[in-house]
Amino acid sequence: MEKRIIGRGLLAGVLGGVVAFLFARVLVEPVIERAIGYEEGVGAAHEAAHGGHSHGDGVELFTRGVQANAGMGFGVLAFSVAMGLLLAVLFCATYGRVGAVSARMLSVLLAGGMFVSLWLVPALKYPPNPPAVSLDETIQQRTLLYVLLVVLSAALLVGAVYLGRQLVARLGTWNATLAAAGSYLVAVVVLMLVLPTIDETPGPITDEAGLIIFDAFPADDLYEFRLFTLGTQVAMWVTIGLVFGALTSKLLEGKRSNEVKIPA
* Segment 145-188, tens digit of pLDDT: 999 999 999 999 999 999 988 998 898 888 999 999 999 999 99
Kindly tell me if the per-residue pLDDT of 259 is higher than 80.
no
CB-CB contact of 36 with 132 (8 Å): yes
**Distance from chain centroid for Cα 7:** 22
DSSP letters, 157-200, are: HHHHHHHHHHHHHHH-HHHHHHHHHHHHHHHHHHHHHHSPP---
**Residues present in the chain in total:** 264
- Are the C-beta atoms of residues 133 and 201 closer than 8 Å to each other? yes
Distance, CA of 240 to CA of 93 (rounded, Å): 18
Q: In whole numbers, what is the pLDDT of the chain averaged over residues? A: 84
Q: pLDDT tens digits, residue range 134-152? A: 766 777 888 899 999 999 9
- Measure the CA–CA gap between 229 and 73, rounded to whole angstroms: 14
Calpha distance 87→107 (Å, rounded): 8
pLDDT band at residue 86 under the 50/70/90 scheme: very high
pTM: 0.84
pLDDT at 263 over 50: no
Among residues 94, 86, 73, the alpha carbon closest in space to that of 115 is found at: 86
Count of CA atoms in the C-beta half-sphere (13 A) of 227: 8
Spatial contact of 85 and 6, defined as CB atoms under 8 Å apart: yes
What share of the chain has pLDDT > 70, as a percent? 78
Average pLDDT over residues 33-39: 83
Short-list 94, 92, 111, 90, CA closest to 16: 111
Residue 46 has pLDDT above 90, yes or no: no
DSSP label at 137? Answer: G
